[in-house]
Amino acid sequence: MTDYRAEYQRWLDSPALNECEWRELNEIQNDEKEIEGRFFAPLEFGTAGLRGTMKVGLHHMNVHVVRHASQAFANVIAAEGAAARAAGVVVCYDCRNNSARFALETACVMAANGIHVRLFDALRPTPELSFAIRHYGAQAGVNVTASHNTKEYNGYKVYWSDGAQLPPAKAAAIAAEMERIDIFTGFRSMEPQDAQDQGLLEYIGAETDEAFLEQVLAQAIDHEAVAQAADKLKIVYTPFHGAGHKLVPEALRRLGIRQLFPEPQQMVIDGDFPTVVSPNPENPEGFALAVELARQVDSDLIIGTDPDSDRIGCLARRGDDYLPISGNQMGVLLLDYVIQAKRRTGTLPERPGALKTIVSTEMARTVAERNGVHIEDTFTGFKFMAERIAQWESEDSFRYLFAYEESYGYMMGDYVRDKDAVTASMMVAEMAAYYSGQGMTLLDAMDALYEKYGNYAERTLNLVMPGLDGLNRMRQIMDRLRREPLAEIAGVEVNRVRDYQNGSVSVHGLGVVGETHIRGSNVLYFELADGSSFIIRPSGTEPKIKIYLLVRDASQALCQEKIARYAAFAETLKEI
């Protein structure tokens, strides 16, 4: 915790601020709460990098924070030696306001530190950055994006040489460098043209797109199913004003989808996201324009990707309505489809393996195990899945098929190590084509999976707690639940509590009885007597506590009754 008043004054007095920035800070001089909110502490640098609202101040995203983080990251890269500096860094950005500028500032700091930079010539999907790091043999990567957050946000995602987001030790090293370096005077930079002239900065674009798309298309399994449905399957696509606008339609067309209808208003690149309140494909209301277009063209399916095109959301037609397919449902649909399609085409490897997160539906485990596929849980975040895949490869144990998390992220192939909405869009289209050939929509297919594997239901709830007060409140709630674990939830007894922070498994009245298979994440997992799961964790990127409800019962109606009861109980946690 900094002396926020002194830090505010230091910024106000700094010659590094331009007149516009100085005016922004000067205008809040009598607003003590706003000053505290901007300067009480730096933005925390974690394994996902930085994310915050765009304002002038220590606790927000702005050019000074970007230069500061870039210098710290440059120091960590340079510490790896001359070969690491030559291998360099790939820099990417999305459609957000200031993203292009922040990316160029990052490139200029890296170049001034003797680190070779490949900077994308325009916005690109996050998975293409992960691909480019691996494709070019780079040491690291930076993506300027805030993923699916609202327009006020931006972020700074950091990657290492495997194409995955940073491991904790590297993130901690960057955070330590940021503590050591002065934010205004501790960085080096240079002009972009000078960096180019000295061979330290090069722009990449179309050739990288082609190499990436080649890998994406190689994931397609059943071309015959697509060919048979190509004339009748209609798909509406929206990139929510973001980075999927080019490569997602291209991938679908190359797959063989002929009836593709991009939503024209949302194909326009715009960091203000003028047609939606939130550019998050998890929110069905953001699809209003796409639904309108789908009705006009009589479409079967709507696909939407978030602004940096790493998450995908879908709606499928049922009668006159277009209903959302949840992240958990799509994960199960894709897992089952990939297994069956590879089995059908004779391409299912020996010892196949799949990955999901601890907060994702247990239906995926049933699907995998019934089909002889090994499945494991990781913490939320594809860096943990990437780490496990690398271990499988080094051990020569399991052949990775598919990985997903409930928050609309999916990963296939060994060319990316992050969630990938480009490949996922293509696979969803192929799957929709296959089921179309059976006279089924994806909603029909989901019903068939419930019939085959059992009825499951899930819901994710968000207890939003903005600002400094919210951070303190979130901490208090998690501390209280650890001190006084819930013995029952909505009248149902808690059998066991898994605390993934310290790795303990506890039973009420007995204490610790075992340990979790992984530890080190702020998650409390309550196992209930009726087989349900009630999971609580603070978000790592947004000011909210997330509660995950996972249930199973004899019918969907009974599942939804359980979900409603547990959701009502979850709301009471705000008051504890």
pLDDT one-digit tens code per residue, 195-246: 999 999 999 999 999 999 999 999 999 999 999 999 999 999 999 999 999 9
Helices (H) and strands (E) in the chain, counts: 20, 23
Residue 104 lies in a domain: yes
- Same-domain status, 186 and 319: no
Would 29 be classed as within a structural domain? no
* Inside any domain, residue 16: no
Token reading at 50 = 């930085």
- Residues 308 and 125 sit within 8 Å (Cβ to Cβ): yes
Tokens of 457: 């239901």
Compute the residue count for the chain. 576
Q: List the beta bridge partners of residue 378.
A: 357
Q: Last residue of a domain, which of 403, 424, 453?
A: 453
CA distances from 195 to 138, 369, 510 (A): 18, 53, 64
pLDDT given at position 167: 84
Rounded distance between C-alpha atoms, residue 80 and residue 70, angstroms: 16
Number of structural domains in the chain: 3
* CA-to-CA dists, residue 84 to 77, 113, 160, 200, angstroms: 6, 12, 11, 13
Q: Is the pLDDT of residue 377 over 90?
A: yes
Q: Are residues 245 and 159 in the same domain?
A: no
Binning pLDDT at 50, 70 and 90, where does residue 253 land?
very high
Among the three residues 189, 204, 219, which one is the final residue of a domain in this structure? Answer: 204
List residues bridging with 203 in a β-sheet.
Answer: 119
Task: Say yes or no: 402 and 268 in one domain.
Answer: yes
Q: Are residues 448 and 488 in the same domain?
A: no
- 404, 447: one domain: yes
Residues above pLDDT 70, as percent of the chain? 100
| Residue 348 shares a structural domain with residue 474 | no
Q: Distance from CA of residue 116 to its chain's centroid?
A: 27
Residue 540 has pLDDT above 90, yes or no: no
User: How far is the C-alpha of 337 from the C-alpha of 138, rounded, in Å?
Assistant: 34
Residue 131: its pLDDT value, please?
Answer: 98
Instruction: Indicate whether 263 pLDDT > 90.
Output: yes
Could you count the other beta carbons within 10 Å of the beta carbon of residue 308?
34
Same domain, 447 and 464: no
Query: Has residue 18 been placed in a domain?
Result: no
Domain enclosing residue 136, as ranges: 42-204
Mean pLDDT for the stretch of residues 417-425:
98
Residues 6 or more apart in contact with residue 572 via CB below 8 angstroms: none
Per-residue pLDDT, averaged over 3-31, amounts to 97
The reported pLDDT for the residue numbered 242 is 97
In a domain, 435, yes or no: yes
Tell me, yes or no, whether 535 and 561 share the same domain: yes
Position 170 scores a pLDDT of: 92
Supply the pLDDT for residue 470: 79
Q: What percentage of the chain reaches a pLDDT higher than 90?
A: 93
DSSP string, 415-432: S-SS--HHHHHHHHHHHH
Residue with tokens 């680190």: 115
Using an 8 Å Cβ cutoff, are 385 and 403 in contact? yes
What's residue 1's pLDDT? 59
Give 377's strand partners: 356
Instruction: Report how far residue 242's alpha carbon sits from residue 253's, in angstroms, rounded to the nearest whole number.
Output: 19
The 10s digit of each residue's pLDDT in 45-90 is 887 899 999 999 999 999 999 999 999 999 999 999 999 999 999 9
Cβ-Cβ contacts under 8 Å for 214 (sequence gap 6 or more): none
Give domain status of residue 368, yes or no.
yes
Cα(246)–Cα(523) distance, integer angstroms = 38
Q: Which helix (H) or strand (E) holds 461?
A: strand 455-464
DSSP 53-69: E--SSTTS-SHHHHHHH
Choice among 70, 99, 147, 360 that is catalytic = 147
Residue after which a domain boundary falls, among 176, 204, 232: 204
Within this chain, do residues 463 and 446 fall inside the same structural domain, yes or no?
Answer: no
Q: How many CB atoms lie within 10 A of CB 191?
A: 12
Helix, strand and coil percent figures for the chain, each rounded to 5:
45, 25, 35
- Is residue 468 in some structural domain? yes
| 9: CB partners within 8 A, 6+ apart | none
Flag whether pLDDT at 310 surpasses 70: yes
Assess whether 295 and 307 both reside in one domain: yes
Is the per-residue pLDDT at 2 higher than 80? no
- In whole angstroms, give the CA distance from residue 131 to residue 414: 9
**Domain at 551, CATH number:** 3.30.310.50
Q: How far is CA 368 from CA 192, 348, 402, 543, 552, in A?
A: 50, 13, 11, 34, 17
pLDDT tens digit sequence for 173-204 = 999 999 999 999 999 999 999 999 999 999 99
Residue 353 is assigned to a structural domain of this protein: yes
Q: Are residues 366 and 406 in the same domain?
A: yes
**Mean pLDDT for the stretch of residues 13-41:** 96
Query: For 335-372, how does the pLDDT look when each residue is reduced to its tens digit (9 = 90+)?
Result: 999 999 999 999 999 999 999 999 999 999 999 999 99
The pTM score is 0.95
- pLDDT, one tens digit per residue, over 439-470 is 999 999 999 999 999 999 999 999 988 877 77
pLDDT tens-digit map of 499-522: 999 999 999 889 999 999 999 999
Question: Active-site residue 309, yes or no?
Answer: no
CATH number at residue 366: 3.40.120.10
Stretch 462-483: mean pLDDT: 87
Distance CA 442, CA 300 (A): 9
- Answer whether 160's CB lies under 8 Å from 140's CB: yes
Q: Are residue 500 and residue 421 in the same domain, yes or no?
A: no
3-state secondary structure 264-314: CHHHCCCCCCCCCCCCCCCCHHHHHHHHHHHHHHCCCEEEEECCCCCCEEE
